[in-house]
Amino acid sequence: MEKPLPVGYRWRSSRSFIVFTVTVALFAETFLYGFLVPILSYMIEVRLGIDPSETQRYMTTLLSMHGFLGIVAAPIIAHFADKTPNRKIPLLLALGGCFVGTGLVASTLNVAALFVGRTMQAIAGCAAWVVGHAMLTDHIDADNLGKTLGLAMTFVTAGIISGPTVAGAMLELFGYWAAWSVPLVVLAVDIVARLIMLEPDRSSPVPAATQDETTGLLSDDSEGQPTHGDAASTSTSTTLADASSPRHFYQIMLSDGRVLAGLANTLLMSSIFSGFEATLPLHLRDVFHWGSLPTGMMFFCLQIPSFFLSAAAGWMRDRQGLRNPTALGWFTLAPLLWLLGVPGDDKFPWASADTNGKPIFVTTMLGFGLFSMLVRGAGSLQVTWVVKEKQTKDPLIFGPHGGSSRAFSIVEMAFGTGSMIGPLIAGSLSETVGYYYSTTVFAITCLALSVVTYKLFDSKTAKPARPADSNA
């Protein structure tokens, strides 16, 4: 007797609802990550009673450890996620870890609780990113992948924008616990969407030729020699085992220059933004005497252009490719990064806090947010195109369930590395030689990466090649 389908199966398992569920999950994770930034100094100095001279060190450590834990956790999470036919359970586990971690961070019972909560948030957030992006890759065809990831990035940007903005405003207007009530509502919406979702089967189909080869043939051999079918079946099983091994996957992917360039793009973008998060609150407090609300608005200026234009950027990538827009983006961001360090620096009296410093800084932040849409997500999209290209040529190259989770694990590792070194580099440079030289170092790196991107990225949409005809 055929098992009846669950209530609402059609819409609960539809591509649109899966995309919605994943984007809500990504929004929740980025919202929670950014939410902490403008109120972290308050938590350290007021709730924990730590001397303000130690604030930068604690902020740098807490933000950097998020990236470090992502590097460690991503390949482990991806390995098991690619062996799991249904990705819903890993998403729910990620939510549970995030909920508990958020509670510990908000409580600020002591320094240990803050670090333990941050650890749980980092691992859970890593799981949500790896599994969520893998779900999008599994259910979206290559021709529409850029547009879909662009839509997802709109939600991600919404989380990045609203997190610091809401945190700063709620803390200043309504108080500490009123501010933390907002993430609880976001998590509630997230868990409801994940419980409703039904994920259809995603197993990679075994090509007909492979199935024919593995069909056992009857043999009259009285000596019990292995049949041709037995040998083929054993060979195929060995091939599948090799394809599923982590070493096999990483050897293939990391030997492709396009993948390395994509990871470099992700690492630098993550480094820049995490560097902003670690240094901007204190820099703006010291230079312009701004509190949490205007600081939160600066993060809003940084993100708002991408919120409106990410989907358009994804559409453009599907049709024009990645090379030219991304290389142009890095080239344009270099002078903008340099200019961000000018206001308030003694070498530029025309841009002091009392003259033109504030309007220059705000305008530059908006410009940086506008042109950063050309590079945001470009690295992960390049890696995804490579995976889809290789899996179209050989559906079992990365095992029966594909390699989407592992692909995004290396992207997450690059992102985590950037999240770790960004605050370390920006924070240490700001403390030792000044904020101006900190932004100048990142500006020079942007120029170098624009050249690398132009040489290695796909010049046009990387549509996966068709599998070779067996009769050719």
- Whether 378 is covered by a domain: the verdict is yes
Looking at 174-227, list the stretches that DSSP marks H as alpha helix, in order from N- to C-terminal side: 176-196, 208-213
pLDDT value of residue 262: 94
At 173 the pLDDT is: 86
Instruction: Give the C-alpha distances (Å, rounded to integers) separating 143 from 16, 70, 146, 318.
Output: 16, 30, 8, 6
- Assigned domain for 462 exists: no
Q: Please give the Cα distance from 422 to 471 (Å, whole number).
A: 53
Give the burial class of 211: count Cβ atoms within 10 A of its Cβ; 0-12 exposed, 13-18 middle, 19 or more buried.
Answer: exposed
pLDDT at 185: 80
CATH of the domain at 447: 1.20.1250.20
Could you tell me the pTM of the whole model?
Answer: 0.69
Which residues touch 190 (CB under 8 Å, ≥6 apart)?
Answer: 24, 25, 28, 95
Whether residue 52 is contained in a domain is answered as yes
In a domain, 30, yes or no: yes
Answer yes or no: is 469 within a domain. no
Residue 250 falls inside a structural domain: yes
> How many independent structural domains does the chain possess?
1
Token representation of residue 387 = 């995976």
How is residue 330 written in tokens? Answer: 């890095």
pLDDT of residue 472: 36
Say if residue 47 is exposed, middle or buried (CB neighbours under 10 Å; 0-12, 13-18, 19+): middle
Residue with tokens 């630098």: 268
Please give the residue range of the domain that contains residue 428: 9-200+240-456
Query: Would 308 be classed as within a structural domain?
Result: yes
Eight-class DSSP state of 322: S
DSSP codes, 376-417: TTHHHHHHHHHHHHHHHH-TTTT-TT-SHHHHHHHHHHHHHH
Per-residue pLDDT, 186:
81
Dihedral angle of Cα 385, 395, 467, 137, to the nearest 10 degrees: -30
> Is residue 408 within 8 Å of residue 137, measured between CB atoms?
yes
* 210 lies in some domain: no
Q: What is the mean pLDDT of each run of 10 residues along the chain (472 residues)?
A: 72 80 82 82 88 84 78 82 73 82 86 90 84 76 71 75 81 86 80 77 46 40 46 45 62 90 94 87 87 80 78 78 91 95 87 85 92 88 85 78 78 82 89 91 96 87 43 37
- What is the C-alpha end-to-end distance of the chain, expressed in Å? 44
